[in-house]
Amino acid sequence: MYGFIRKESSFRPEDAVYRETVLSGDGWLRTLKKGETLRVVDLEGNQAVDAMFYDAHDPDNHYSAGKTIKAQNNIYLTTGSILYSENGDRMLEITADLTGRHDTLAGSCSNYYNSVKYPGDVLYMHNCKDTFMLEFSKRGDEEYCKRDLAPNVNFFMNVPITEDGVLEFADGVSAPGNYVEVTALMDVDVLISNCPQLMNPCNNFNPTPIELMIFSPEDEDESN
Ligand SMILES: [Zn+2]
């Protein structure tokens, strides 16, 4: 499937230095230190997890969809994919992947996006851009603001391209317990919105929780 490289992690959940369940509609913002690994677990399957990455020491140097796609000549991310920053730095590497379908093009849902895409009174539905802004505000500083919301990664989100070159939002291909892992190649601020979108087939019209785990490099040594 578009170069999917399936790889299980060598980390054991019980060795995680951090674990948190994030409900749909909630967000998460935390620094991942160089060498640390973040696992995102799709607990119930078919969930879309919007993620953005920032150089922790220079937030303007954020994840670049364009540089990442160009470097690997593939719009989908899987094991071995390097996520590049605007300055061309290697930010993270995908080091384990059980689904092979992580979107780089569709962006995150917002009130205006939803009102164009979906019928009904959707303008005021909670959306990923709202969650991102809420996470920025919770930091209590002015490091991040709306201008920092650049094109993001959508873990587990299935957005195939039709033969006509159109993005299609399709039923998810993930399954309960599937996960993807990224290992930080520099200190990275990770921003996540567990998408609350009720009208997106990628969520199977039923947004569900995810679990986040962090592993430090020493954990892997201990288990070997
Ligand atoms: Zn969303």
From first to last of its 224 residues, what are the pLDDT tens digits of the chain? 468 999 999 999 999 999 999 999 999 999 999 999 999 999 999 899 999 999 999 999 999 999 999 999 999 999 999 999 999 999 999 999 999 889 999 899 999 888 888 888 888 899 999 999 999 999 988 899 999 999 999 999 888 788 888 887 777 778 899 999 999 999 999 999 999 988 877 777 889 999 999 999 975 555 55
Q: Tell me how far the alpha carbon of residue 172 lies from the centroid of ligand 1, in angstroms.
A: 14
Q: Which amino acid is at 30?
A: R
153-162, pLDDT tens digit by residue? 999 988 878 8
Q: Tell me how far the alpha carbon of residue 154 lies from the centroid of ligand 1, in angstroms.
A: 9
7-29, pLDDT tens digit by residue? 999 999 999 999 999 999 999 99
Q: Which residues contact 34 (CB under 8 A, 6 or more apart)?
A: 184, 185, 186, 187
Q: Tell me how far the alpha carbon of residue 50 lies from the centroid of ligand 1, in angstroms.
A: 7
Give the whole-angstrom CA distance, residue 113 versus residue 123: 9
Q: What is the pTM of this model?
A: 0.93
Q: Tell me how far the alpha carbon of residue 203 lies from the centroid of ligand 1, in angstroms.
A: 9
User: For the CA atoms of the chain, what is the radius of gyration?
Assistant: 16
* 164 strand-pairing partners: none
Q: CB of 17 within 8 A of CB of 215?
A: yes
Residue 47: both structure tokens together: 């969930």
Residues with CB under 5 A from ligand 1 (ion): 109, 128, 195, 197
